[in-house]
Amino acid sequence: YTATAGAQKKITDETEAQKKERMAWWAHDRFGMFIHWGLYALPARHEWVKQRERMTDEQYQVYFDEFNPDLYNPKQWAKQAKKAGMKYAVITTKHHEGFCLFDSEFTDYKSTNTKAGRDLIAEFVEAFRAEGLKVGFYYSLIDWHHPDFTIDRIHPQRIDEGSEADYDAVNKGRDMKKYRKYLFNQVRELLTNYGKIDIIWFDFSYPGKNGKGKDDWNSVELLKMARELQPGIIVDNRLDLNDYADGADFETPEQVKTEELAKYKGKMWETCQTFSGSWGYYRDENTWKSQRQLLDLLITSVANGGNLLLNVGPTGRGEFDYRAINALDGLGGWMHANSRSVYGCTFAPEDYKAPTGTKLTYNPETNRLYLHLFEYPSSGRLVLPGYKNKIRYTQFLHDNSEIGISAEGPSGTLKNEDLILLLPEQKPGMEIPVVEI
Ligand code: JFZ
């Protein structure tokens, strides 16, 4: 998913400056919520369960029949997202299973025909907008339910050791041209019937033998249509349009470790991450990331000039898992006190180095640095390497309390260009305190 450097071909005539302006809110806001919700919330063992367990449509039908999200209240979701400090949300309007949470004219496989009896996306859009959050649609290019979507290596009915001829046989009667029509029709609906949509998150391409890519989706025309219907829309990079300079707006490093995020510095990017490994609700998955790990993901993303899209997988009743609620509340507590180090921030200028055990973000508008104390110095003394004569004032971000700075280190240990930060010996009661410089 790395856009080809120096790609010349272009799909639109937008300039770099226009793109920057179009994406300004997104680059500023930094923190969003991903929502993976569909029939897979019922088996509650990963959103790929149909493929992993090679279920037929008949076997999977029970989840459609039993889908009954009686506690669905997107106003509550929006409040929870907002409280956590998130500024936008991207929801699965349709995932690979093919089930639509919206009232599409082109299928019966949709929430309106379940016990839910209504368009769940319409309510979602209204609720999130009302809380002042931007709205994004995830749309799966892959569709395991559509009768014209050809079976390949990631399909539930895949042939694991199949030859080309085996695939031809199993795909007899399936017609990707018809599926393409369906795909265009649905994307048109989504980008026409719900007001302004801020992001479209297509997922995903896997070009090659028994795979699918830009020719299968007609990605160039799909992207053109999206831009026509929603001129301001921001589009991810999973359409297999790497040959085009404007084939994607941002990169989507998925479930990567914090140490790997530095390599995206200088690009437009958003890392998507789960609380526990699965995107869809997974009842028995019990290794949830700690508060500190989640904060690390957020801070490290900003410290490398990127966004974090943190995923929640609501239950079959339409609520967030209690563990997700606790995690969001925790993030909200930290963000309440420290969001100034996140919004509008990016990586620090080259000549400001982060001391060991800290991570730096920087707001170019206000010319302030934010030093995140992942490790708190036991003496309260922290050397700021090369900061002498460059900084004016330092304070804790959470309470605006002054922190002293000194050019006098203990017995000549300080280099001439360094400064020392005189932190209180006692760490403030906060997982990761932030010094505003
Ligand atoms: C896709 C989906 O299959 C998955 O269920 C989830 O929605 C996730 C956000 O996106 O998974 C991918 C897509 C691309 C890669 C890995 C997983 N990739 O490029 O490595």
What does the mean pLDDT of the chain come to?
A: 96
Predicted pLDDT of residue 196 = 98
Any idea how long the chain is? 437
Average of per-residue pLDDT across 260-274: 96
pLDDT, tens digit (0-9, with 9 covering 90-100), for 118-149: 999 999 999 999 999 999 999 999 999 999 99
Query: For a substitution probing ligand 1, which of 1, 139, 155, 254 has the most ligand atoms within 8 Å of its CB?
Result: 254
Average of per-residue pLDDT across 189-213: 97
Q: Is it the case that residue 411 has pLDDT exceeding 90?
A: no
**Is 255 or 275 the better-scoring residue by pLDDT?**
275
387 by Cβ neighbours in 10 Å (0-12 / 13-18 / 19+) ranks as buried
The residue whose CA is least distant from atom 17 of ligand 1 is: 254
For 288, the token pair is 């949830």
The fraction of the chain above a pLDDT of 90, given in percent, is: 93
Average of per-residue pLDDT across 242-248: 96
For 323, the token pair is 């563990």
Predicted pLDDT of residue 282 = 98
With cut-offs at 50, 70 and 90, classify the pLDDT of residue 183: very high
With cut-offs at 50, 70 and 90, classify the pLDDT of residue 164: confident
Question: What ligand 1 atom has the least distance to the C-alpha of 92?
Answer: 7
CA distance readout (Å), 45 to 97, 142, 278, 340, 383: 14, 19, 8, 37, 48
Predicted pLDDT of residue 412 = 66
Residues having CB within 6 Å of any atom of ligand 1: 1, 36, 47-48, 203-204, 254, 272, 279
Predicted pLDDT of residue 209 = 85
List the one residue out of 217, 221, 180 whose CA is nearest residue 202: 217
Q: Is the peptide bond before 204 cis (omega within 30 degrees of 0)?
A: yes
Identify residue 40 by its one-letter amino acid code: Y
Task: Tell me 39's DSSP state.
Answer: G
With cut-offs at 50, 70 and 90, classify the pLDDT of residue 163: confident
Query: For a substitution probing ligand 1, which of 99, 204, 240, 279 has the most ligand atoms within 8 Å of its CB?
Result: 204
Predicted pLDDT of residue 5 = 59
Q: Is it the case that residue 175 has pLDDT exceeding 90?
A: yes
Question: What ligand 1 atom has the least distance to the C-alpha of 47?
Answer: 5
**Is 313 or 160 the better-scoring residue by pLDDT?**
313
Displacement of CA 431 from its chain's centroid (Å): 23
Query: For a substitution probing ligand 1, which of 99, 140, 203, 309 has the most ligand atoms within 8 Å of its CB?
Result: 203
With cut-offs at 50, 70 and 90, classify the pLDDT of residue 377: very high
Predicted pLDDT of residue 8 = 81
CA of 255 to the centre of ligand 1 (A): 9
Predicted pLDDT of residue 408 = 81
Average of per-residue pLDDT across 33-37: 99
CA distance readout (Å), 277 to 102, 281, 285, 287, 401: 26, 10, 8, 8, 39
The residue whose CA is least distant from atom 5 of ligand 1 is: 47
CA of 87 to the centre of ligand 1 (A): 22
pTM to 2 decimal places: 0.97
CA of 181 to the centre of ligand 1 (A): 23
